[in-house]
Structure 1
Amino acid sequence: MSSPSKEPIALRQRRKEARPQELLDAALALFVEKGFAATRSEEVAARAGVSKGTLYLYYPSKEELFKAVIRESLGSKIAEGREGLDKHQGPMADLLVWLMREWWMRLGLTPAGGIMKIMLAEARNFPDIAAFYVDEVIDPSCNMLAEVVRRGVASGEFRPVDPDTAVHVLIGPILHMVLHQYSIGACGLDLGPKKQPEAVIELHMELLFKGLLNRPRDDGMPRVDA
């Protein structure tokens, strides 16, 4: 039987260990709701149920808090995707489909997707955060997808396309759906990709592979460079 005097100490310790994640969860919700510039540190502290001083013990400034949110909500998921690439042994097309679906399920459909809208709207006013976002999110995710295409081209599975250019074709539709979800879609308007996002992804992948897979071209398909 545990000592009554020790139990509160153990509970307080567990609470202390959980506090950084609670602060990040509260910050993410408020940043997505109000934007970076409009969110105040004391609001984050209040939503997490702590004092402003406690918040600053973990994150000395709002900028550092937002960077931690980016790293936790996006950077960690991209790192997991990279691990999937390093372990994958089958066709690159299968991995590409998995990465795109996972990206949408774990980022696009979660509050983390709202960070992308924030960056497009406010990055110009906060260049230091923009540079951090490039280092933590844009460069790693683009490099990962480019590596998938590069391996597919090297194995002969994909046509000889430029991997870095192909990345923008890959991510464009999903970024569009995320931005729609956190702009017009957030107004309760049931329009565009919000209706059937999974169907949009499936069709995007189908159209993509018609041009990417290394197989004879359909005679009925027009050439872009004609």
Structure 2
Amino acid sequence: MDSTNTQPKWQRRKDARPAEIIEAALDVFAESGFAAAKLGDVAKRAGVVKGTLYRYFATKEDLFRAVVHHAVSLHLQSIQQISLGFEGKLRELLPLMLNSAAGRIGNSRVPALARLVISESRTFPDLATIWHDNVVTKMLQLITGIISDAQQLGEIRPGDPALYAFSVLGPLVAGALFREMFGLSSPYAPDLQALAKQHGETIIRGMLISNGEGQ
């Protein structure tokens, strides 16, 4: 008999409800968009009554914020972990990070959420704020900091680290949105990991001082 979890079954079920609601909301938002998503549909998919949903999330915006945090935080943490304690040079680190990001983005609902924000942020400006604060800012801060450190070590050419960060991330973001908008049936739908590999090699050659020579 497994004695490692002594919580009553009903208590474990209660503790799991916020995560179940968030998972259900992720699917509903991705499929229906923000405006058309109904909290009743989220509750039904999560297997709870609507009143239970409101115990955890007072508004649809609160639920969307939780969905973004849940959908993105694990991916960001994984990419951050690659950089923590890495003792090699940027030309080795950056391709690893891009490859990890491509693999995770390609197997997640993150592009669907990004498309939702783009299409509905004029009507619901809070969506853009949530996405900016929880996704864009964190990713740009991470890459900008890494590039700035590499510049101080004399590995990367002079230039605005934040603009370099846009150059690093832009193609992968564009590729993910292309696949989300036009589907994989398009002959131009990119393989994200192949894109990450080729782009990583290209941008590193452009950013390195003398292609890494004479350092």
Aligned to 1:125, what secondary structure does the other structure show?
A: coil
Give the distance between the partners of 1:30 and 1:22, measured in 2 at CA: 12
Corresponding residue of 1:215: 210
Aligned to 1:139, what secondary structure does the other structure show?
A: helix
Bigger-Rg structure (1/2): 1
1:189 aligns with 2:185: yes
Give the distance between the partners of 2:105 and 2:192, measured in 1 at CA: 13
Measured at CA, do residues 216 and 70 of structure 1 come closer, stay the same or move farther in structure 2, by a change above 3 Å?
closer
Corresponding residue of 1:146: 144
Give the distance between the partners of 1:60 and 1:28, measured in 2 at CA: 17
Give the distance between the partners of 1:193 and 1:133, measured in 2 at CA: 24
Give 2:175's match in structure 1, choosing from 157, 169, 177.
177
Indicate the percent of aligned positions where both proteins have the same amino acid: 31
Give the distance between the partners of 1:52 and 1:107, measured in 2 at CA: 31
Give the distance between the partners of 2:200 and 2:114, measured in 1 at CA: 22
Question: Quick one: which amino acid aligns to residue 202 of structure 2?
Answer: L
Give 1:121's match in structure 2, choosing from 119, 136, 150.
119
Task: Spell out, residue by residue over 1:91-140, the C-alpha distance to the aligned partner (whole angstroms, 9 max, x if none).
Answer: 12222222212212223421122111111111121112212221111111
Corresponding residue of 2:110: 112
| Number of positions where the alignment pairs a residue of Structure 1 with one of Structure 2 | 209
Give 2:194's match in structure 1, choosing from 193, 199, 218.
199
How do 1:158-169 residues align onto structure 2 when only pairs under 5 Å count? 158-169=156-167
Aligned to 2:43, what secondary structure does the other structure show?
A: helix
Question: Quick one: which amino acid aligns to residue 66 of structure 2?
Answer: A
Measured at CA, do residues 201 and 216 of structure 1 come closer, stay the same or move farther in structure 2, by a change above 3 Å?
closer
Asked whether the equivalents of residues 28 and 112 of structure 1 are also in contact (C-alpha less than 8 Å), the reply is no
Q: Which runs of 4+ in 1 moved over 6 A?
A: none
Residue 214 (structure 1) shift: 1.5
Question: Quick one: which amino acid aligns to residue 111 of structure 2?
Answer: G
Give the distance between the partners of 1:98 and 1:89, measured in 2 at CA: 13
Structure 1 gap segments, 5+ residues each: 218-226
Give the distance between the partners of 2:78 and 2:186, measured in 1 at CA: 32
Give the distance between the partners of 1:43 and 1:109, measured in 2 at CA: 24
Question: Quick one: which amino acid aligns to residue 201 of structure 2?
Answer: E
**Stretch moving more, 57-66 or 78-87:** 78-87
Give the distance between the partners of 2:130 and 2:195, measured in 1 at CA: 30
Q: Give the RMSD, CA atoms, in angstroms.
A: 2.2
Question: Quick one: which amino acid aligns to residue 167 of structure 2?
Answer: V
Give 1:42's match in structure 2, choosing from 37, 40, 43.
40
Measured at CA, do residues 60 and 216 of structure 1 come closer, stay the same or move farther in structure 2, by a change above 3 Å?
closer
